[in-house]
Copies of this chain bind each other. A is one copy, B any other.
Amino acid sequence: MDLLNNHVSIRKFQNKEISDDLLKSIIYSGTRASTTGNMQLYSVVVTKEAEMREKLAPMHFNQPVAKNAPVLLTFVADFNRFSKWCEYNNAEPGYNNFLSFTTAAIDALLVAQNVCVAAENNGLAICYLGTTTYNAKGIIELMELPKLCFPITSVALGYPDENPDLTDRIPVEGVIHNERYVDYSEVTIRELYAFKEGLESSKQFVAENKKETLAQVFTDVRYKKADNEFFSQSMLEVLKEQGFLV
């Protein structure tokens, strides 16, 4: 499966538009993904207009990729549409709860990955923006998402203007557990992460950030406890505001 095995995230795009037909076609391939009970609990918000891209960029911390891509897709866990259908059909929806949020988020993410595979199969390139959940409130306001909607991930989309090497992965055996989870010993951990730690780029990363280990770059610079706790709190508040948590 070369298409999947050669995937790389692209952060530099050609100055070339994506046609509406192509965009619709890859989103259609997204909708062919399985969803819970075939309820299709997702929506996709397309950001193309310069003004909206400018307003959206700060919510993704002004990452260049969020500014430069010709299209941003925001994948929304959406129980609003289905609940409206229930209401118009004399049925009382019961989806204002945490399980239903999780169910809709799962639907939206499987669709997102299908859209990305379809995009790459059509010569486009993608980059996920993990920042969507961090600033969900701002995105909800900007895109006017109603209750029972929550933006779960975003994808920057365009024609690639760079050709980076494959990124590292730990050996596949490191993520597989047969029948039961075997917890990782120090020896196993050291083996699994040796390649990543030995990369020239990793060493540079450690040096630039004046850290002792690569792991410290993650815990002290990139994904810090205090930030994670702050954004956990705000995410839970937004889930409450959107009607998914009592």
Which chain A residues have a beta carbon within 8 Å of chain B's beta carbons? 1, 4-7, 9, 24, 26-29, 31-34, 36-40, 42-49, 52, 76, 78, 80-82, 84-86, 88-95, 97-100, 102-103, 105-106, 109-110, 112-114, 116-118, 121-122, 126-128, 130, 133-134, 142-146, 149, 152-153, 166-170, 172, 174-181, 183-184, 186, 189-190, 192-193, 212-216, 218-220, 222-226, 228-229, 231-232, 235-236
- The residue on B at minimum CB distance from A45 is B177
Give the shortest distance, in Å, between A27 (CB) and chain B (any CB): 6
A42-B175, A93-B225, A143-B177 known; 7 new pairs, CB 8 Å cut-off, are A4-B33, A38-B169, A46-B178, A84-B186, A89-B213, A106-B152, A109-B113
A152 contact set on B, CB distance < 8 A:
106
Question: How far does the alpha carbon of A70 sit from the alpha carbon of B185 in the complex, in Å?
Answer: 30
B229 adjacent to A97 (CB under 8 Å): yes
Question: How far does the alpha carbon of A158 sit from the alpha carbon of B61 in the complex, in Å?
Answer: 43
A24 contact set on B, CB distance < 8 A:
172, 176
A116 contact set on B, CB distance < 8 A:
34
Question: How far does the alpha carbon of A32 sit from the alpha carbon of B153 in the complex, in Å?
Answer: 18
- Our pick among B91, B145, B175 for the contact of A220 (Cβ within 8 Å) is B91
14 contacts between A and B (CB under 8 A): A1-B26, A4-B32, A4-B114, A36-B130, A40-B170, A44-B175, A44-B177, A81-B175, A89-B214, A90-B213, A93-B225, A99-B134, A109-B109, A114-B117
